Amino acid sequence: MQKNSRAIIRTVLKILISLVWLVNGLFCKVLNFVPRHELIVGRILGTEYAPILTKTIGVLEILMFIWILSGIKSRLCSIAQILIVLTMNLIEFFVAPDLLLFGKANLLVALAFTGVLVVYEFILTQPGQKPQ
């Protein structure tokens, strides 16, 4: 694959990956357009503080959006995303599968997303090339 093609694909993936975090953080959690997220947090961490914890998680997701777009420590950012997504989805798989959009199959969506992260960070970046 040509260098320019890799750069274009990486840029498109960077935008799409970052938008996943923005949409889930801002719209689903902070603005509470998807109340199911608060129910999931309540199931896992307790209902008393679920509203504030859900909004806090949403703000952290917005910060992830900013980190991704900044390009700072891109490899660390991708590893953090992979660990966060897999951990969160494994917990939800066992504790709140009935509240997930696709039930237990949500884990497959998480695996696909982490696969995209691996391609973005570890396959489309040439050895010795600084990630963009």
Contact 18, 69 (CB under 8 A): yes
**121's torsion region: left (phi>0), alpha (psi -120 to 50) or beta?**
alpha
Q: Quick one: pLDDT at residue 1?
A: 65
CA distance linking residue 38 with residue 61, whole number of Å: 14
- Beta carbons within 10 angstroms of residue 81's beta carbon: 22
> Helix crossing, 3-22 with 106-118: angle to 10°?
140
Q: Quick one: pLDDT at residue 4?
A: 87
How confident is residue 131, by pLDDT bands cut at 50, 70 and 90? low
Q: Which of 124, 130, 116, 125 is nearest to 20 (CA)?
A: 116
- 86 pLDDT more than 60: yes
Mean pLDDT confidence for 20-30: 98
Q: Quick one: pLDDT at residue 125?
A: 85
Mean pLDDT confidence for 32-42: 98
Q: What's the mean per-residue pLDDT of the chain? A: 95
pLDDT in tens, 66-85: 999 999 999 999 999 999 99
Q: Quick one: pLDDT at residue 129?
A: 61
Q: Quick one: pLDDT at residue 127?
A: 63
Contact 23, 64 (CB under 8 A): no
Tell if the pTM clears 0.85, that is, is over it: yes
